[in-house]
Amino acid sequence: MNTKKTYLLIFLIIVLSISWILTNAKNVVEVNAEDIKIALREVGHRMLLVDKDSTSLVLPIIEQGNLEYKLTFEKNLAIIPDSLVKIVGQSFGKSNLPENYLVEVTQCINGAVAYSFKMRNEKGKNVIPCRGRFLPNGCYEIKVKFITGGDFALLNGFFALAIGLLTLCLLWGLFKTKSKLNNVDIEHGDKIFIGNYRFYPNQNKLILLQEEVLLSKKEGELLTILASNLNSVVKREDLTKKVWEDNGVVVGRSLDTYISKLRKRLQEDEAIKLKNVHGVGYKLIYDSSGGS
């Protein structure tokens, strides 16, 4: 995957993540109890109007804890489920209340559930039974329980963690891609990319396209050190010590001779330069722009 595509993929993942979290944000925020009570009083008022009752009272809203509330009436009334579903949805929507809730209509005399429905902010998840029927005149209480907070916060947390891990993986892939372009990629420990060349240190073999060049042992050792320190200066004494003196050999002008040979080996790729840093050592440079 090239750099442009990687950045585009990361951007799309972040946009989708933000969209998903914002979609569910309404179900994670704290709910204001006063807003709920006002909305429920409006529900009670409109239910009485549907029952052609404009004089009896909606009794005080009872907060039962854990985001549960109870709406009661002064007098008996008949309830049309379709109207109840519509009125609750409109009143809660105006107050910007969470879209996930359970509504139960219970009988005052024994607490039995006469009607109930559940709303979710996910398409196809609403449960609204018995539409088109009605509950005969009687004493009813309407209980509302909001489904919010913990479940959605936990889900958002897992989702954010997954997105973070995926983004890190993509960034690591991007880093590896850049590393290869800058020639610091060693594949399986037996191959080093140097610009357009592939160098096999264990075989002292250099390949450009289909052309294969066998290096001497000294050339291979020098190139391994220089390639492992790409774009950095390697001191002359370090090269001589690692390639010659560690093997019990004292070198004179041999280093310069082998450096010259390596320059010729790498000359087919103009982006690669093996420079002499006067008085210090040598520097293998890879410039993908092709400049010097």
What pLDDT digit, counting tens, does each position of 229-251 carry?
A: 989 999 988 888 888 776 656 56
Tracing tokens 């001497």 back to the chain, one arrives at 216
Q: CATH assignment of 186-286?
A: 1.10.10.10
Q: In what order do the strands lie in the sheet with 272-277?
A: 233-235, 281-286, 272-277
What pLDDT digit, counting tens, does each position of 156-211 carry?
A: 566 666 666 666 766 666 555 444 444 434 444 578 888 889 889 888 899 988 78
Best mean pLDDT range from 102-111, 144-153, 182-191, 203-212: 102-111
- pTM of the prediction? 0.45
What is the model's pLDDT at position 188?
A: 42
Helix (H/G/I), strand (E/B), else coil: 80: coil
What is the number of alpha carbons within 13 Å of residue 240 lying toward its C-beta? 14
Mean pLDDT of 133-144: 92
Report, in angstroms and rounded to the nearest whole number, the Rg of the chain calculated over CA atoms: 38
Q: Is 226 exposed, middle or buried (0-12, 13-18, 19+ CB in 10 A)?
A: buried
Helix (H/G/I), strand (E/B), else coil: 16: helix
Q: Taking all residues of the chain, what is their mean pLDDT, rounded to a whole number?
A: 80
Q: CA 98 → CA 32, 42, 44, 71, 120, distances in Å?
A: 11, 16, 19, 18, 9
Task: Transcribe 26-49 into DSSP letters.
Answer: GGTSPPPHHHHHHHHHHHHHHHHH
Taking 60 as the threshold, does the pLDDT of residue 223 lie above it? yes
Element (H, E) at 68: strand 68-71
Q: Where are the domains of the chain?
A: 3-24+152-181, 29-148, 186-286
Mean pLDDT of 38-54: 95
Q: CA 72 → CA 108, 109, 121, 145, 235, distances in Å?
A: 9, 13, 26, 15, 89
Length of the chain in terms of residues written:
292
Rounded to whole angstroms, the maximal C-alpha distance in the chain is 112
